[in-house]
Amino acid sequence: MQPLSGLDSSFLYLETDSQPMHVGGLNVYEGSLAFDDFKAFLAERLPLAPRLSQRLVQVPLSFDHPYWVDDPDFDLDLHLHHAALPKPGDWRALRQLTSRIFGQKLDRSRPLWEFVFVEGLDAIPQVPKGSVAVISKIHHAAIDGASGAAILGLLFDVTKKPRKIPPMPPKEVAPLPSDLTLLRRSTMNFIKRPLKLPGLLLETAKSTWHAGRLSRVQSPDIPRSIFNAPPSLLNQSITAKRLWNSALLDLSRVKALRQGVAGATLNDVVLAICTGALRRYLLEKDALPDKPLVAMVPVSTRTQEEQQNMGNQVSAMLVQLPTDQADPVIQLQKIHQHTQQGKSYQNAIGAKQLIDYAEFIPFALGSQATRLYTRMQASRYHRPFFNLVITNVPGPQVPLYMNGHKMLAHMGMAPVFDGMGLIMPVFSYNGVISISPTVAAKVMPDVDLFTRYIREAANELEQHLASN
């Protein structure tokens, strides 16, 4: 039995019928991989990722966080689905299927993941006819972006010939724990938890003092807390319907754009590209706020020793996107300045401390608060927490293979929630970087247009840097 951390539990609090809280992706594989071969390969590799055969059990009355336990009734067939695109099997049909599947909640009575195997990719440019796709969904309570990338390493190979996996000895799985066992374990956790609080409060006081010193010397324009973002059409109540698309860019060209601003990082360039696309989209809607948009950028707190751990180990940095600036080079300059100052502030307040505080939120209270917030459409009555999320996860820069079939592309998906209808997962793999807006349909019904603007914003930044 492994209890959920406070941060992992927060993704269960947030989940409602209109806002499922899973992450996922669309992988495209070269060649005619058969479904039965895919299933057999997955069955062989699943023991390498134990979280995929574990489910959650709820503590009676929900007064403590749930626990991960091995599922005694695990059945791989309940997590694999087989589908085919309608003719002609083009990109439009694939992204429509992906959007619909991603909008559906996972069943909490079994391990929180599923894969959909998709055939019939016959009319997608640069994808060989007969290739297949896999749409993946894993609950955010189980993984973050970094641990999701680690699962890729477990399930895939770096050579066309699959590596041999030693047979795992039969594992005896215990029955699900009784309510009495769960209550006894939770009681012990409650006894230990208050002992952590004095040290946490002391560290917080020290960090607050350091953060106060920083705030006196840094620009007052840098967002340091939520509720400082301007109202925008991205920030409204949402429904369950999701739309998704992805822009694929050449990683070497995107990296080269860093040279235009001294010290700029790849992440700065990605944020600048997103800024250009957002500015154009909102201008055309006559809905561009006077003040810059604010993006929440997840920051991994995972140490080297924690690389193989599942669950979420992230904090957040708020970054001002200069959507009030028309020149893409100036946008990149300002983003670099903002991220440098934001990192200093985020480090000062202590990312690990923010995560630790989540342990003290009673599970039942967190869940009820989210339902009440959604039912009352409370997001309409306050400034946005932030305007959108942009999450950038670096992936392997060598080809990966699934049972001998090369993975051509990986494009990410992530959840949105009431009051924040756009998230932009970014993933780099084998020389390609994907920027994949996932949106609530009522917030951005023309996500395909916005996705085109992402590609055009990258080209525009490249052209401006070349002319300077």
The DSSP annotation for 339-356 comes to: HHHHHHHHHHH-HHHHHH
Q: What is the mean pLDDT of residues 448-468?
A: 96
Q: Can you give the pLDDT at residue 25?
A: 92
List phi, psi (to 5°) of 452.
Answer: -60, -35
Look at 5-9, 80-84, 191-195, 462-466 and tell me which has the smallest mean pLDDT: 191-195
> What pLDDT does 170 receive?
79
- Coil, helix or strand at residue 468: coil
- DSSP class of 258: G
Give the separation between CA 339 and CA 297, rounded to whole angstroms. 10
Rounded average pLDDT over 257-266: 93
Q: Is residue 396 part of a domain?
A: no
Give the position of tokens 């993704």.
Answer: 11
| Any domain includes 323 | yes
Give mean pLDDT, residues 327-334. 96
Burial of 145 (0-12, 13-18, 19+ CB in 10 A): buried
Dihedral of alpha carbons 123, 126, 130, 136, sign: negative
Residue 400 CA to residue 252 CA, distance in Å, equals 19
Residue 65 predicted with pLDDT over 50: yes
Phi then psi dihedrals of residue 212, to 5 deg: -65, -40
Residue predicted with more confidence, 454 or 380: 454
Burial (Cβ within 10 Å: 0-12, 13-18, ≥19) of residue 410 = buried
d(CA 69, CA 237): 35
Angle between helices 6-13 and 363-375 (to 10 degrees): 30
- Four-residue CA torsion sign, 369, 375, 380, 381: negative
The closest of 413, 457, 446 to 287, measured between CA atoms, is 446
Answer yes or no: is 443 within a domain.
yes
Greatest mean pLDDT range, 336-350, 366-380, 438-452 = 438-452
Does the structure show a pLDDT above 50 at 350?
no
Assigned domain for 28 exists:
no
Q: Residue 347: its pLDDT value, please?
A: 46
Q: Give residue 245's domain range.
A: 220-362+379-388+421-467
Radius of gyration of the chain (CA): 22
417, amino acid identity: F
Q: Measure CA 411 to chain center.
A: 11
Local structure of residue 30 (DSSP, 8 states): S
Q: Which residues of 13-24 are buried (b: 16+ CB within 10 A; e: fewer)?
A: bbbbebbbbbbb
At 412-456, the pLDDT tens digits run: 999 998 899 999 999 999 999 999 999 999 999 999 999 999 999
Q: How far apart are CA 48 and CA 37, in angstroms?
A: 18
Spatial distance between the Cα atoms of 300 and 315, rounded to a whole number of angstroms? 6
Helices (H), 76-178: 91-102, 145-155
Q: Do residues 461 and 256 make contact, with C-beta atoms less than 8 angstroms apart?
A: no
- Coil, helix or strand at residue 275: helix
- Please report, as a single letter, which amino acid is at residue 453: Y
Selected residue with higher pLDDT from 155 and 406 = 406
Of 345 and 85, the structure prediction assigns the larger pLDDT to: 85
**Number of other CB atoms surrounding residue 58 within 10 Å:** 16
Mean pLDDT of all residues in 196-219: 44
Whether residue 69 contacts residue 54, with contact meaning beta carbons closer than 8 Å, is answered with yes
Least confident of 23-32, 168-177, 236-245: 168-177
In a domain, 339, yes or no: yes
Q: What is the pTM (predicted TM-score) of this model?
A: 0.84
Q: Answer yes or no: is pLDDT of 52 > 80.
A: yes
The residue ranking higher by pLDDT, 187 or 463, is: 463
What is the overall mean pLDDT for the chain?
82
Q: What is the pLDDT of residue 394?
A: 87
Helices (DSSP H) in 69-178: which residue ranges? Answer: 91-102, 145-155
pLDDT at residue 448, rounded to an integer: 97
| E strand intervals along 257-387 | 293-300, 314-321
Domain annotation covers residue 316? yes
Burial degree of 397 (CB within 10 A; 0-12, 13-18, 19+): exposed
Phi then psi for 348, rounded to 5 degrees? Answer: -65, -35
Decide if 128 contacts 31 (C-beta within 8 A): yes
Of residues 213 and 128, more confidence is placed in 128
- Report if residue 164 sits inside a domain: no
Q: Around 397, how many Cα atoms within 13 Å sit in the side-chain half-sphere?
A: 6
**Who contacts 62 (Cβ-Cβ below 8 Å, separation ≥6)?**
363, 364, 367
Domain count along the chain: 1
**Tokens (6 digits) for 444:** 């951005």
For 14-51, what is each residue's pLDDT tens digit? 888 889 999 999 999 998 899 999 999 999 888 888 88
CATH value at residue 294: 3.30.559.30
Q: How does residue 214 score in pLDDT terms, banded at 50, 70 and 90?
A: very low
**384 burial level (CB within 10 Å; 0-12, 13-18, 19+):** buried
Q: For the chain, give the percent of residues with pLDDT over 70.
A: 76
Residue 311 pLDDT grade (very low, low, confident, very high; cuts 50, 70, 90): very low
Domain assignment present for residue 229? The answer is: yes
For helices 266-284 and 447-467, what crossing angle results, to 10°? 120
Q: Tell me the β-bridge partners of 197.
A: none
